[in-house]
Structures are given as C-alpha cells and as structure tokens.
Copies of this chain bind each other. A is one copy, B any other.
C-alpha cells in the first residue's frame, strides 16, 4: 500500500480533531480512498471521515488495508507537515512508514496496533430537520451557549431555528431565520457542549455546516468539501426533568 497527498495540511488538521475524541482508530484504505469511522470511548459520538481516491496524487492498494494507529502518535507526526510538504504513507509489515518531503526528506515509522473492540456499524437515521448555516454562525452559537450552560438545545420549526442553552442561573438564546436554510418540522433536541465544542473545530474545513436532527434524536453534523467528507453523529441528552 502506498499513497501520496500533495496538500496534507488539512488531513493533519482532521486527524487532530478526531484525536480529541478517540485515542485509536482503524484507517481503511482501498481503491476508493481513505476512511475512518470511530466511536468515542463513552459511546456518545461517532466520527465519519472520508478522503476519496481523487484527493490523492498517488494511491496504490491491492486489497483493502486496515491500519490500526494511535492517534496521538499519528497527530504528532502529522504536525511536522508544513505548507508545501508532500506526504507519503506506505505499509511495511507491521509498521506505517510516513514520509514528509520538504526541502529535506523526513521518514517516520509508526507501529501499527490492534484496535480494541469491534467496529460499530453506521446507524441508519431518519432526521426530521435539516439546517444549513455558515460555520462561523454555528460555532459562535456553540461558544455562546458554553458561557452559560453545559448543554445546548436545537429547536426547529418549518421557518425558524433556535440554538439555546440553559444553566442553573443563566441562559442564552439565538434565533436564526433568514441566515439559514431550513427544511424542518417542529423538533427539539439537546446535546452535550463538551462534544459540540470539539466538533466545531471542523469549521476550519469549510464555511458551511449541515445539521440534521429530530425530536430527542441524534444529531448528524456534516462538514463537506468537494474532496473531503467529515461528519459527526452525536447522541442526544434526554432528560427526565420538566
């Protein structure tokens, strides 16, 4: 297996984002490209990442390869990538060779590991509400909620979308109508801000984000560019209070 990326900076950033939620992942490489699907240790969030074949300047793979890696190690290596670096990855026995070619050629070898636990299937979900908004507005609203609370509710109606947070004493509310693209029914669901704050780092990738959710239902957050697809599925916080 051999692959080459001409602009590895974004790949490096995505690995950094994922590494805040999971410690180890299986990276799959086949003729269609590279993909990661992983669940955080608390079973609250799922990460889905795809880099298609045409994102690579070189992609040689005979059969599907599954590379178990420690994300802390991989992240530390990928941080050494600079603007203008070319990144190559090769599997050699139980090692992943990572070559960063700048003016100087840097060659890292990472031990491949056995990732514990079975791979979870991607759940089949039916969302009643889909909101498309700018990444900036979304990540601002998450930060605003975080000032007053540790969870955040998304409230949709056919022509309206509200992000709000309620702490013990203080609260926040922001209403979106013209600024967002709404295909929604009435639905309310609450999510952990701890996770959302990690996920909004995906706003670096693209200036649009798509939110899919339902009533007390999982959220699917999508950050897509023509070449990259990064999504998060987050379980709702369903509480018995009021």
Instruction: Identify the A interface with B (CB < 8 A).
Output: 73, 76-77, 79-80, 103-111, 137, 140-141, 143-144, 147-148, 169-176, 179
A111 CB contacts on chain B under 8 angstroms: 169-170
Distance (whole angstroms) from the CB of A88 to the closest CB of chain B? 14
- Copies per assembly: 3
Distance (whole angstroms) from the CB of A211 to the closest CB of chain B? 15
Q: Are A107 and B172 in contact (CB under 8 A)?
A: yes
Q: Are A143 and B80 in contact (CB under 8 A)?
A: yes
Inter-chain CA distance A163–B80, complex, in Å, is 16
A179 CB contacts on chain B under 8 angstroms: 103-104
**CB closest residue in chain B, given A165:** B108
Q: Are A170 and B73 in contact (CB under 8 A)?
A: yes
Inter-chain CA distance A165–B144, complex, in Å, is 43
Inter-chain CA distance A207–B59, complex, in Å, is 38
Q: Which listed residue (B107, B109, B144, B173) contacts A174, Cβ 8 A?
A: B107
A-B contact pairs, 23 of them (CB 8 A): A73-B147, A76-B147, A76-B148, A77-B148, A79-B147, A80-B140, A80-B143, A80-B144, A80-B147, A103-B137, A104-B141, A104-B174, A104-B179, A105-B175, A107-B173, A107-B174, A108-B144, A108-B147, A108-B170, A109-B170, A109-B172, A110-B170, A111-B170
